[in-house]
Structure 1
Amino acid sequence: MPSTVVVHGPQGCGKTGSAQALAAHFGCTQIIDDWDGRARVPAGSLVLTNRADWKASALPALRRVVPFARAMAEAGLVGAEV
């Protein structure tokens, strides 16, 4: 089962603009932008949110939560045009 990755950061930081590149880096098959923190998420999704009050029960068991800046660094996208 593919892992779900939650990328969180403040509104306007670049999550949406970097979504395709981040999904490719993390091997995610679907992008969920502006997640409300409560809707169920399919396994293998890249989930983008600026919410701090999300519910872990809405996410698949295999998940990783990463701040936006760290996700960008891991993907080698810092300073790159995406």
Structure 2
Amino acid sequence: MGKPLIIVGPQASGKTRNSKAFLHAFGGKRVVDNWDGRSPLRDGDLALTNVENFSLPTGFQVISVSEALQRLREAK
């Protein structure tokens, strides 16, 4: 994983609970939990957030928590 990956979903949707599995599945370097949508992210970061309105820097990928969970299920 090069550029940061941002996983967006409501509170209590499983983002933090599955953060280690997401990190492993997507090949990230570190988890940034409760990302505020403004703080800088580094290459390899896996940002978890419930913020839906943020300006997306070029090259960042954003997926929903439901899509991330589906990818985990498919990887098993």
User: Shorter-chain-normalised TM-score: which range?
Assistant: 0.7 to 0.9
Match of 1:69 in 2: 66
- Preserved CA contact (<8 Å) 2:3 2:42: no
Superposition RMSD in Å:
1.6
1:1-82 pair list within 5 angstroms: 2-57=2-57, 61-76=58-73
Runs ≥4 in structure 1, deviation > 4 angstroms?
Answer: none
Which segments of 5 or more consecutive residues in structure 2 lack a partner in the other structure? none
The secondary structure found in structure 1 opposite 2:73 is coil
Which segments of 5 or more consecutive residues in structure 1 lack a partner in the other structure? 78-82
TM-score, normalised on structure 1? 0.82
> Counterparts of 1:54 and 1:24 in 2: how far apart (Å)?
25
Q: How many residues in Structure 1 have an aligned counterpart in Structure 2?
A: 74
User: Which one-letter code corresponds to 1:41 in the other structure?
Assistant: L
User: Which one-letter code corresponds to 1:76 in the other structure?
Assistant: R
> Counterparts of 2:33 and 2:46 in 1: how far apart (Å)?
8
TM-score, normalised on structure 2? 0.87
Give how far 1:56 is off: 1.4
Percent identical among aligned pairs is: 30
1:14-57 deviations in whole A, cap 9, x for unaligned? 10010000011000001000000001011111000000122213
